[in-house]
Structure 1
Amino acid sequence: MNTFNFVNPLIPILKPEDNIAKATALLDDQVLNQLPVVHEGQFQGFITSDMLFDDLFDHSTVGEYQLNPNQCIVYSNQHFYEVVKAFSDCDFNMLALVDENQEYLGAFDAQDLLNAFSKTTAVQSPGSIIEISIKQIDYSLAEITRLIESDGVKIMGCFLQSDAIDSNLIRLTLKLDRKDASRTVATLERFSYNVVSLFQEASVASYDKERLDALLRYLDI
């Protein structure tokens, strides 16, 4: 995913010569906590509402503040995962996109990143989601993929994270192209994989409920 997809063109910029009144007004109008400062195309850093409030009577222009041009930035050639990590390491709610020469290309916040991610095939495509708990030493995505695809199912996306309780375990979340993943779950469990969560579309859940209700009615006869 290209990092240019995240940029929000509606985020205004400030210049070093802008006065504090203008900076405060822009922050209020945009309902933002920080804004990028740019001088002759070069990113200078973010100025925040807290900085303006704390030193309201000590400075008259934006350029008088000590800004950090290396804080909360990502580069145009970085991957989506690196952008997500940059957000987790940043003290602000916004990132600046720059090129290798520190030239400012735009800015975006977490909501812009989420909006871009929501348009990916993994999110938009219909299907189901399963979550598997695995020992790190036993983890093999190739093996899991082989088992799933043996049932004619395709993996549309995957996400891996550490287990919050047991450091020896990892959680693998998979988006599948099938609305009903019950057969896939049965296959994985047959090979001793621990499927801890299953999320299916409402239509599948409703269909399963109808079948269960029909069975209960039959047993009542």
Structure 2
Amino acid sequence: MTVNQLISNSIIPLRKTDSAGTALAWMYESRVSHLPVIDGQSYVGLIGDVEILYVEDQNTKLSGFCSNLPRPFIAGGEHYFNALQLMIGQGLSVLPVLDEKEYYLGAITRDKILIEMAGSISVQNPGGIIVLEINQNDYSLSEISRIVESNDTKILSLSLKSVHNSNKLEVTLKLNRVNIEGAIQSLGRFDYEIKAYFGENRKDDDLLLDRYDSLMAYLKV
């Protein structure tokens, strides 16, 4: 999905003639800490609450701040992953979207991107999660998929993360089944290191039952 498709109608751009007090009120209403400032169709910059929060006269016009405003933005045709990377890197709650002539089109919010991302990685779909730790040279998506699917299980989504100060990857699998015992056993047979899992596993249930029986036997002594 491109950035254009995630432009938020709730983000109203500020004008240079607006006051600091107006900017803070709109930020509070929109639950963001940044808002774009425009002049006609032109994007002037992005103002944050920290720039204007302690201004003594809240009637001060934004025009007095415009010369020093940062101008982060993203093109409308970019993928929203790139927008999120930029927003996290610069600590932005809002990111202006410009066209090829750098005219202002609108703005996207970090919250809206995260909601879209949650849908793309099947957060709302029921199913178990398996976290693997693999050497980067050994990573093979096709092999992992084949092993998981041999248990009549599908991978709904997959994410990769480099392990700090190592040559390993953390591979997180979201599966379409809550009972993931078969997938866990199959991955183990192929010597995959299972760092964590979240779902149903009969072995865990049996272990808890054994511990419960042992406790009851002890209490009867």
Any conservation in 1 of the 2:121–2:158 contact (CA below 8 Å)?
no
Matched, 1:213 2:204: no
Deviation track 1:15-52 (CA, whole Å, cap 9, x = no partner) reads 12223343233334444322111222232211122222
Matches within 5 A, 1:118-133: 118-120=118-120, 122-133=122-133
Q: 1:28 to 1:214 in 2, by over 3 A?
A: closer
Any conservation in 1 of the 2:14–2:37 contact (CA below 8 Å)?
yes
SS of the residue 1:122 aligns to: coil
Displacement of 1:53: 4.0
**Map of 2:149 onto structure 1:** 149
Q: 1:215 to 1:52 in 2, by over 3 A?
A: closer
Matched, 1:68 2:54: no
Equivalents in 1 of 2:125, 2:75: separation in Å?
Answer: 29
TM-score w.r.t. the length of structure 2 is 0.81
Matched, 1:15 2:11: no
Displacement of 1:98: 2.2
Displacement of 1:197: 0.8
Matches within 5 A, 1:9-48: 9-48=9-48
Gaps of 5+ in 1: none
Any conservation in 2 of the 1:5–1:116 contact (CA below 8 Å)?
no
Instruction: Tell me how large the CA RMSD over aligned residues is.
Output: 3.1
Any conservation in 2 of the 1:155–1:174 contact (CA below 8 Å)?
yes
SS of the residue 1:197 aligns to: strand
Identical aligned pairs, as a percentage?
27
**Map of 2:197 onto structure 1:** 198
Equivalents in 2 of 1:20, 1:126: separation in Å?
Answer: 46
Matches within 5 A, 1:180-199: 180-199=179-198
Gaps of 5+ in 2: none
Equivalents in 2 of 1:214, 1:19: separation in Å?
Answer: 68
SS of the residue 1:10 aligns to: coil
Equivalents in 1 of 2:77, 2:204: separation in Å?
Answer: 46
Q: 1:80 to 1:206 in 2, by over 3 A?
A: farther
Number of corresponding residues: 213
